[in-house]
């Protein structure tokens, strides 16, 4: 039986590396794509995969990588559109560069992956596109406006694409994790400067998830289980479905809790 071939973007660290490791353990051929080529090579060497440099904001480069994967391995069975960045702060703390960078990586990067994979998978008559969104794509998340905007878009894209691709045998899932203990939490607004969000988001995350932040390895196992079951939405931890339900059925309560976080944030950033 032929080994399935998986391409993982943002695969050199965090959730992407854990996904790559979990796929390798299952016997898949794994291609680790990352904007940091050296880190991708290190991850590939430790996991027994292949490394490729890829900036997901480059549509042409993404298409070329997808075609090369097929040329090298004969198919593209799984695409994990996982590369992403975190952008935090109140709207008046964020400039055009925050919006542009977040939209380019978190949304356009996914679009480019879809555009690269769909023709290949349609011709194969099989394949699974897995887009990493967030709980921020299922509920309202202030103080991270560009981030939550892109993640809502990724969820919508994934659900609509799933309907479009089902008749040709291609599956689509969106992954919606809560806060996960990854470098993203320590590297908000990468290259874009600090604000109160970059210094306090981990504290806020811990307060919102008092049971502690799960690690990316736990998430990766849940994702691959969901993929095997062809889940449209993979929410992790599963208890977060309660948060989704609360926002739908008790929006006033959720708004009050969110309001408390916003007021606390504004108080923290106020000069002494």
Active site residue 147: yes
Output the pLDDT for position 90. 87
CA 173 – CA 152 distance, rounded (Å): 14
CA 179 – CA 195 distance, rounded (Å): 19
pLDDT tens string, the chain, 272 residues long: the values are 678 999 999 999 999 999 999 999 999 999 999 999 999 999 999 999 999 999 999 999 999 999 999 999 999 999 999 999 988 888 988 899 999 999 999 999 999 999 999 999 999 999 999 999 999 999 888 888 999 999 999 999 999 999 999 999 999 999 999 887 655 555 666 565 555 565 555 555 555 555 666 689 999 999 999 999 999 999 998 888 888 898 889 888 888 988 888 888 888 776 54
Give the domain ranges of the chain.
Answer: 5-269
Output the pLDDT for position 7. 98
Residues 62, 80, 147, 265: which is the catalytic one? Answer: 147
The CATH classification number of 5-269 equals: 3.40.50.720
Q: Which residues contact 245 (CB under 8 A, 6 or more apart)?
A: none
pTM of the model: 0.90
């Amino acid at each position: 039986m032929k080994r399935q071939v998986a391409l993982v973007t943002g695969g050199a660290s965090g959730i992407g590396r854990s996904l790559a490791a979990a796929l390798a353990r299952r016997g898949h051929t794994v291609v680790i794509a990352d904007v940091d080529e050296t880190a991708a090579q290190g991850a590939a060497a430790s996991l027994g995969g292949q490394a490729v440099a890829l900036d997901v904001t480059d549509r042409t480069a993404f298409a070329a990588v997808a075609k090369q994967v097929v040329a090298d391995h004969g198919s593209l069975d799984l695409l994990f559109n996982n590369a992403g960045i975190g952008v935090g702060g109140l709207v008046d703390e964020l400039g055009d560069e925050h919006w542009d960078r977040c939209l380019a990586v978190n949304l356009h990067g996914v679009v480019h992956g879809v555009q690269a994979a769909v023709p290949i998978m349609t011709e194969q008559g099989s394949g699974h596109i897995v887009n990493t969104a967030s709980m921020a794509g299922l509920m309202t998340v202030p103080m991270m406006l560009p981030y939550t905007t892109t993640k809502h878009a990724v969820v919508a894209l994934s659900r609509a694409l799933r309907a479009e691709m089902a008749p040709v045998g291609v599956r689509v899932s969106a992954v919606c994790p809560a806060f996960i203990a990854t470098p993203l939490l320590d590297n908000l607004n990468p290259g874009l400067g600090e604000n109160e969000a970059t210094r306090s988001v981990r504290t806020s995350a811990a307060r919102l998830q008092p049971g502690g932040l799960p690690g990316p390895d736990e998430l990766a196992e849940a994702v691959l289980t969901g993929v095997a079951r062809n889940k449209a939405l993979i929410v992790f931890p599963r208890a977060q479905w309660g948060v989704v339900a609360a926002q739908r059925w008790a929006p006033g309560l959720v708004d009050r809790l969110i309001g408390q976080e916003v007021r606390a944030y504004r108080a923290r950033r106020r000069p002494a």
